[in-house]
């Protein structure tokens, strides 16, 4: 049958050592305990900047404007030029400018 000991030596192996079940559990628990504060710290780094921007007033919701975009509001967005390229964002800007000049 199988063994859960840390040392597994077979007939053909000279001296093969592995990680035992207890050591694996201890390492997993330590990793879990370290990951919580680390993720909290990293999420604090990803928070928004310090600029205070005024929110535009909402526009009237209609069938053509279901999100209630204000006609005079500026559109601002951040684009990550990744695998999809920039074309989809440029097309969205054209549609926005057409609907809200």
CB 70 within 8 A of CB 57: yes
Q: Which residues contact 6 (CB under 8 A, 6 or more apart)?
A: 17, 18, 19, 20, 23
Q: What's the predicted TM-score (pTM) here? A: 0.37
Average pLDDT of the residues in 65-79: 76
Question: What confidence category does residue 50 fall into, taking pLDDT thresholds of 50, 70 and 90?
Answer: low
Amino acid 63: pLDDT = 83
- Name residue, tokens 């999100």: 67
Amino acid 13: pLDDT = 53
- The per-residue pLDDT of the chain, averaged, comes to 75
Question: What confidence category does residue 7 fall into, taking pLDDT thresholds of 50, 70 and 90?
Answer: low
Q: Say yes or no to pLDDT of 47 above 70.
A: no
Average pLDDT of the residues in 21-26: 91
DSSP state of 33: H
What is the distance between the alpha carbons of residues 17 and 74, in angstroms, rounded to a whole number? Answer: 64
Amino acid 26: pLDDT = 92
Q: How far is CA 46 from CA 39, 42, 49, in A?
A: 11, 7, 9
Amino acid 25: pLDDT = 92
Average pLDDT of the residues in 51-65: 74
What is the distance between the alpha carbons of residues 16 and 9, in angstroms, rounded to a whole number? Answer: 6
């Amino acid at each position: 049958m199988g063994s859960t000991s840390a040392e597994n030596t077979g007939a053909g192996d000279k001296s093969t050592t592995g990680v035992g079940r207890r050591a694996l559990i201890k390492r997993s628990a330590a990793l879990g305990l370290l990951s919580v504060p680390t993720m909290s710290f990293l999420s604090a780094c990803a928070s928004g900047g310090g600029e205070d921007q005024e929110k535009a007033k909402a526009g009237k919701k209609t069938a053509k404007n279901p999100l209630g975009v204000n006609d005079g509001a500026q559109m601002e967005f951040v684009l990550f030029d990744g695998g999809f390229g920039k074309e989809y964002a440029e097309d969205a800007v054209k549609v926005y400018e057409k609907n809200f000049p």
